[in-house]
A and B are shown apart, each in its own frame.
Chain A
Amino acid sequence: MLVLLGVLVVVLGFATKRNALLVVAVSGIVTAGIDGQSPNEILTTFGTNFASSRSVTVFVITLPVIGLLERYGLREQGRALISRLARLTTGRLLALYLLLRQVTAAFGLMSIGGPAQTVRPLIAPMAEGAAERKYGSLPDRVRERIRSLAASADNVGAFFGEDIFLAVGSILLITGFVNATYHTHLEPLKLALWAIPSAVCALFIHGGRLLYQDRLLARELQSVKSAATTSEEAGA
């Protein structure tokens, strides 16, 4: 029963808004201590598990080139490009990106997208550009929401696409854990097939919500626009 104190530490730290990195480290020390590990063993646990989990941090390597391209106007060009694609509205663009992200992730191409790789340099500016083209300059509130939705399309697409690919981390974790703990033999392929129904649901639910944004934007911004400009043609 006592080992559950570690979970309590996380919940309390989270509730009192302490620094999450510190909270998690403290919870680890508390749990390992209750479990009867010596200080020496606790340090070894922290060290070995840091070493074996480095792969989640390596996307840092993409930052210099993305930073360089942004200094030379990558984001501005993304906006310029969308301003020429007349038919893509904010909602349709984000829904299209959701579909692309799901399909590529299902084929194991996780690194094609991501917040640093595509959302910041391309998708968010393009989605904003589409709304700007139709309604002129956007209120901050709307700008924030469009950016948040761009990040959400990336996450939902990745999460509910990747498990269809059988060599992805979560599938390997399931087979690794279950086969080692319960001495059975579970095939990665079967798990991957069972990820498809949820993936289809996610596409319809989140895709539908993204498409619905076009109507929301129209309702919110039409009045702003008609007040601001008189010469421009009203949107379809």
Chain B
Amino acid sequence: MIKAEWFYWLVGAVFVVMALQMLRDTTNPKRYGTAAFWGLLGVCFVYSTWVVDKSAPAQPLGVAVLVIAALAGFGRTGRGTAEGTPPERREAFAARYGNKLFIPALCIPVVAVLCSVLVKHWSVGGTPILEKDSETLLGLGIGSLVALAVGMVLLHERRVSVPVHAGRSMLESMGWALVLPQMLAILGAIFATAGVGTQIGRITEHLLPDGQTYTAVIVYCVGMALFTVIMGNAFAAFPVMTAAVGWPVLILHAHGNPAAVLAVGMLSGFCGTLLTPMAANFNLIPAALLELKDTYGPIKAQAPTAVAMLGCNIAIMCLFAF
């Protein structure tokens, strides 16, 4: 059986190898800090395996995560000046290989889909080939490896260091924003145990007069969007706002249809995700990948749609949930 943890080890190994390349990159003025940041992240990915199955203590991992945050937070990370292929040579390569260049790129989704639809049901001697519930994740990993192999054969590229080097400069341009979603997941868990949701619920009880269902719908939807803007993630906002307004007011008190209230509530949170730089993986990373001068470019492009969709969600909940 192919396990999800093996895939995490591979990702960890990729981080460590790239960190070693960064260490030797003299064009990066902060190469030691940068290498420490990514190297430590790679080690964390592997060590996590034993934290998940509870055979190793989680505290060292906690320390490492805080060190990673401190390295980025106090400006110890940077990037080198990548010596990429000059544009003329890329044009020449494009003319030579033509549409064949798309084949490896399309391998990733095709293999990922095959794994989550077809290979999912395959098993050898009773055990499934792919670990249960991780098929899509493993498909992404297998798809990327297949794509890399196909790409290297197709382009007659023998040096493995070339793709690693190319991937590293993309990694450096994303920087610490890559780790932010995981840090937000940690914060969400802490907020849930500390009862931030129940506190917000108490405040809204004072503010909301009895029996105003439609006002409560607006509070729930706008609250989901605002909290998502702050937390960067609708997943983190959902337990807070649902414990505060969604469940006690809209479902128990106003007898709303639970599926409609909660599904549309989550989608209201997604409107917030479209608006916030805290959702680094959706808004800041694309800006870096597309080499935009204005980091907020994607957010500006999304803002009118996000506001209109929040209005739609409120209307849908008011019309159909009660």
Chain A residues in contact with chain B, CB under 8 A? 1, 3-4, 6-7, 10-11, 14, 18-25, 27-28, 31-32, 34-35, 40, 42-77, 80-81, 108-112, 115-117, 119-122, 124, 140, 144-145, 147-152, 154-156, 159-160, 163, 169-171, 173-174, 177-178, 181-182, 184, 186-187, 190-195, 197-198, 201-202, 205-206, 209
Do A145 and B169 form a contact, CB below 8 Å, given A3-B194, A151-B287? no
Number of inter-chain CB pairs below 8 Å: 419
A145 CB contacts on chain B under 8 angstroms: 297, 301
A198 CB contacts on chain B under 8 angstroms: 264, 267, 309, 312-313, 316
Q: Mark the stretch among B27-35, B124-132, B276-284 that contacts chain A.
A: B276-284
B187 CB contacts on chain A under 8 angstroms: 6, 10, 24, 27-28, 31
Q: Which of B23-68 contact A (CB under 8 A)?
A: 44-45, 48-49, 51-52, 57-63, 65-66, 68
> Is the beta-carbon distance between B199 and A120 smaller than 8 angstroms?
no
Contact with A along B184-215 (1 / 0, CB 8 A): 11110111011110011000000000000000
B157 CB contacts on chain A under 8 angstroms: 68, 72
Instruction: Tell me whether chain B's interface is mostly helix, strand or loop, or mixed.
Output: helix
Chain B residues in contact with chain A, CB under 8 A? 7-8, 10-11, 14-15, 44-45, 48-49, 51-52, 57-63, 65-66, 68-70, 72-75, 84-85, 87, 90-95, 97-99, 101-102, 104-105, 108-109, 112-113, 116, 136-137, 139-141, 143-145, 147-148, 151-152, 155, 157, 162-171, 176-187, 189-191, 193-196, 199-200, 230-232, 234-235, 238-239, 242-243, 247, 258-260, 262-264, 266-267, 270, 273-274, 277-278, 280-283, 285-287, 289-290, 292-294, 297-298, 300-302, 304-305, 308-309, 312-313, 316, 320
B144 CB contacts on chain A under 8 angstroms: 61-62, 64-65
